[in-house]
Chain A
Amino acid sequence: MFSPSSLSFSVPSLVFWVLFLCALLFAIVVTIILFYHWMRYGKSDHGTIAAEVIYAVVLAILVFILFGITSQLS
């Protein structure tokens, strides 16, 4: 029966840092493009402002958690 702890393999910690940095780079690029669109085409629109706040807060939390997990893996 499968259980998480039954997996027995080791991955170099560098792999996780590379994955984390790639994800971070992707997130930064997409976020810049998204904010460009929202600020240019949805300026002063309530829906866009709410989206900016919710998106940024949750993204920051996710990146923070990922950073924490990556740090523990190294």
Chain B
Amino acid sequence: MIDLSLGEQIVYRIRRHWFIFLGPVLFTVLGVIVPPALVFSVSVPQALSDFSIMVNGADATNLMLMFVYFLWLLFLWIGLFIRWTDYYLDVWYVTDRRVIEIEQHGFFNRHVSSMPFDKIQDITIETKGIFATLLNFGDLKVETAGDKEGNFMLPHATRPHKAKEIILRGRTPIPR
């Protein structure tokens, strides 16, 4: 939720690139696959036999393992969306008057600040690594004439060159 002035319009929205969120997703996928794979790889015939017993509802030990596994899945799933919220709610809005920076740190730490266009002195883009180059993301830094604390920085911003162009242009809306 952002407070816009009367008549102020959002021109562009900048988020961190989805590639950054691939780490938590891969961790979750491995967390889903690895535990049963480990159990099954120890002894496939035995595991199949166990599975058959489990399906028939006769073996409490297998049920216990299933219980622990699904408990683990529950925490994995919740953890993934906690990370996603942290990732997704970090956003920059470019309006026709200023740049608004929103940083979400965990659940209860949110920082919102804005910078009018006339305060912007320079915009720096830093693209590091092969993935950043190929997928077109990088660190976007908007600098003011004053102290460094007033600078805005969005790491791994999606399409930073387009964002820079729009910020510098100031107020021309970009068709979606």
On A, residues with C-beta under 8 Å from B are 1-5, 7-8, 10-11, 16, 19-20, 23, 26-27, 30-31, 33-34, 37-38, 40-43, 47-48, 51, 55, 58-59, 62-63, 65-66, 69-70, 72-73
Contacts and interface: CB of A to CB of B under 8 A. Distances in A.
Contact of B70 (A7, A26, A65): A65
Interface of B: 1, 39, 42-43, 46-47, 49-50, 53, 57, 59-67, 70-71, 73-75, 77-78, 81-82, 84-85, 88-89, 102, 104, 107, 110
A41 B43 CA distance: 49
A38 to B, nearest CB: 7
A44 B64 CA distance: 42
A4 B81 contact: no
Given A72-B63, A73-B63, A51 B82 contact: no
Chain A CB count within 10 A is highest, among B60, B74, B107, for B74
A4 B57 contact: no
Contact of A55 (B50, B70, B73, B81): B81
> Which applies to chain A's interface (DSSP): helix, strand, loop or mixed?
helix
B78 to A, nearest CB: 5
A27 B81 contact: no
A5 B46 CA distance: 9
Contacts of A10: 60
A60 to B, nearest CB: 11
Nearest to A10: B60
Nearest to B89: A41
A50 B71 CA distance: 24
A14 B15 CA distance: 46
B47 A66 contact: no
B85 A37 contact: yes
B67 A3 contact: no
